[in-house]
Amino acid sequence: MHPGAPETSPTVTPPAPSTSAPARAASTIQHPITQASSGPAPATTAALPALVDSDANVRDALAALVSGGDLHALLVPSQIISRVVATVDALPRQGIGSTYILPLRTPKGALQTGQANGTTVIAAANADRYAPYMTLLENVDPHALVAWYKHDYPLFQQAYRELGYPHGYFNDRLIVAIDDMLAAPEVHEPIAVTRNGAHYVLVDPRLQALSNGQKLMVRLGPGNEAQFKAKLRMIRELLAGGQIAH
């Protein structure tokens, strides 16, 4: 699982349906967006653009939300909301299908490996490949991010329906994805990997069987994982109606 994708790609299409994590019907909405906690007023009260025409607005909004880091270098500039929605939907699954759905470009370079007791393991230096993404994460105010998300929520909901869930509720799926990532194991010992064609897989079958989101957490490295989880907990509290201190 990589947090990024090539800049040029075909239209976003949904991953294969999962029987383990079905989308909730509208009648069983768990986290209606209207109950999300109050936060700073959105930067604009202008009417939302059509989803197909929303990329420029989304790029501008995200650039305003991030006070540090190089968002332009990492963000795939087209179909942004549809990519975010498709990626969120895929995170709790075990197979992501195509990396073309991802809203961010992949980390530079190959997975960094080393040797430990004669076994190929993910090197500690591999965590450095995620530094640009972690810089963006560190510099995003969760209150402002959620305020923007609430303002633009109709576009996320439309994209989720167009993904193949006409009765689904995207905010519920987002909470499922966040909870799944927060449940990722914290692995502090070297993680053994082996090549499977052009890619590496995790030798421990329990780790290899993790969801896409949990595998991402494990591959980030313990320090990055802890930082990511801390930000996710704050965002979840805001999305689910809680308040957190600035």
pLDDT tens digit sequence for 202-212: 999 999 999 99
In 100-113, which positions are buried (b, 16+ CB within 10 angstroms) versus exposed (e)? bbbbbbebeeeeeb
Spatial CB neighbours of 200, under 8 Å, sequence gap ≥ 6: 111, 113, 193, 194
The beta-strand segments (E) located in 73-211 are 113-116, 119-122, 193-196, 199-202
- The terminus-to-terminus CA distance of the chain in angstroms comes to 31
Spatial CB neighbours of 5, under 8 Å, sequence gap ≥ 6: 76, 83, 99, 100, 101, 102, 103, 104, 105, 106
The top-scoring range by mean pLDDT among 11-25, 101-115, 140-154 is 140-154
Rg (CA), the chain: 18
The whole-number average pLDDT for the span 12-39 is: 57
| Cα–Cα distance, 201 to 209 (Å, whole number) | 10
pLDDT band at residue 8 under the 50/70/90 scheme: very low
**If you average pLDDT over every residue of the chain, what do you get?**
85
pLDDT for 2: 44
pLDDT for 69: 82
Burial level of 231, CB count in 10 A (0-12/13-18/19+)? Answer: middle
Residue at token pair 């991402």: 216
pLDDT tens digit sequence for 117-170: 999 999 999 999 999 999 999 999 999 999 999 999 999 999 999 999 999 999
Provide the 8-state DSSP code for 169.
-
Locate the domains of the chain by residue range. Answer: 49-239
Contact of 85 with 170, CB cutoff 8 Å: yes
Contact of 222 with 186, CB cutoff 8 Å: yes
The whole-number average pLDDT for the span 3-29 is: 46
pLDDT band at residue 224 under the 50/70/90 scheme: very high
pLDDT tens digit sequence for 37-68: 555 555 556 789 999 999 999 999 999 999 87
pLDDT for 244: 41
pLDDT band at residue 198 under the 50/70/90 scheme: confident
pLDDT for 45: 60
Q: How far is CA 198 from the centre of its chain?
A: 24
- Look at residue 98 and tell me whether its pLDDT is greater than 80: no
